[in-house]
Amino acid sequence: MTFANIIGHEQQKKLLRQAWNNQRMAHAYLFTGAEGIGKRLMAIAVVRLIFCEKQTGCGTCSGCRRIDHNNHPDLHIVETDGTAIKIDAIRQLQKELAHPPLEAPRRVCIIDDADRLNPAAGNALLKTLEEPRAEVMLILISAHPDMVLETIRSRCQQLPFARLEQSMIAKVLSQQQIDDTQCQVLAALSEGSLKKALGSDRDFYIEQRKEVFKSLSALSVGSIVPMLELAEKWAADKEQLDDLTSVLLSCYRDIFLIVSQGSSSLLTNIDMQERIRQHAAKETPLSIQHKLEAILDCRYHLQRNVNRQLAMERLLIQLTQGPCGDQASRSQL
């Protein structure tokens, strides 16, 4: 993986390359940005740049090949063990970083998901991170920099990565023989994460999205039984709940945009515009905000392992409420 192979992030590439050329590479970096946008690839590209015999990240020299095969003695990659990175991993790392590099000019350590460092491990890393020996370089990667210890952040050069632009993702997708509208929808739904866009649940996004919205709009306030049945059906598939709620969120966001007179170029579900516009006619700005909050709430609860069936029922009840439900929301405000 070289800089040229990474899509987007031109500024970050330029910065790292400049730092390398000016011999101003810091000893600790923290790459931040959403998941699946190429942070780790960038870290590997940096390592290749440093380790490569030709100083280009050629991909053919032994250094580059061994990085690709993940068996370079001077590259250490620390990953989560279970749900967290534990102190033992850091102690092990410290031991290794105490020695000079074997082949490459530097020893590089990549810590992926640095937000998963547990408190003991994070604190144990501090002294190393502040003043490692001269040939050591650490690259921390995190999608949630706010959850990384403040003391760690202060010791690193932070390099924020933006989400990929929709047009870029659409371009990648179009190389994979997907038709145009689908490309656009997927690109919009993926929220700048290529991992998401190329993920295996693509069919879900394309096909079931319409079905989800259709069955939802078929419900009305009075029809309790169909609503409970739908909730049961949705709650049954644990794996897809996350996708399901994000689909709902994207649909309701479109409604929200229409209700608040946003331009139609902002919409995500361009293939379902007709239906969404119909739905939007029934909503007031306040009721739609209320519903969006309900979906966000539901996601929050699902992440905390609540009873799925209950969560879905509650969500559906809130979603099927007409604008007359405003009274309640207004009193809350």
Fill in the amino acid letter for 288: I
122 is written with which tokens? 């994070």
Q: Quick one: which of 66, 124, 70, 74 has its CA closest to 94?
A: 124
| Single residue of 2, 55, 80, 123 touching other proteins by CB under 8 A | 123
Stretch that binds other proteins, among 124-132, 177-185, 208-216, 232-240 (CB under 8 A): 124-132
Residue 226 CB neighbours (<10 A): 15
Site string for other proteins, 286-325 (x = CB under 8 A): ---x--xx--x--x--------------------------
The whole-angstrom separation of Cα 123 and Cα 203 is 43
Cβ-based nearer residue to other proteins, 15 or 306? 15
Q: Assess 328 for contact with other proteins (CB under 8 A).
A: no
**Nearest distance, CB of residue 160 and other proteins, angstroms:** 5
**Nearest distance, CB of residue 169 and other proteins, angstroms:** 14
| Single residue of 70, 71, 263, 305 touching other proteins by CB under 8 A | 263
DSSP 38-61: SHHHHHHHHHHHHH-TTSS--SSS
* Subset of residues 221 to 250 that bind other proteins, contact rule: CB under 8 A: 249
**CB-CB contact of 270 with 187 (8 Å):** no
Q: Assess 327 for contact with other proteins (CB under 8 A).
A: no
Q: How far is CA 91 from CA 64, 148, 162, 290, in A?
A: 27, 19, 33, 49
- The torsion region of residue 184 among left (phi > 0), alpha (psi -120 to 50) and beta comes to alpha
Q: Assess 139 for contact with other proteins (CB under 8 A).
A: no
**Residue 134, Cβ density class (10 Å: 0-12 exposed, 13-18 middle, ≥19 buried):** exposed
Cβ-based nearer residue to other proteins, 253 or 279? 253
Site string for other proteins, 90-109 (x = CB under 8 A): xx--x-----------x---
Q: Assess 134 for contact with other proteins (CB under 8 A).
A: yes
Say what angle helices 87-97 and 119-130 make with each other, to 10 degrees.
Answer: 20
Given the rule CB under 8 A, which residues bind other proteins? 11, 14-15, 18-19, 22-27, 90-91, 94, 106, 119-120, 123-128, 130-131, 134-135, 144, 146, 150-151, 153-160, 162-163, 165, 191, 249, 253, 256-257, 260-263, 266, 285, 289, 292-293, 296, 299
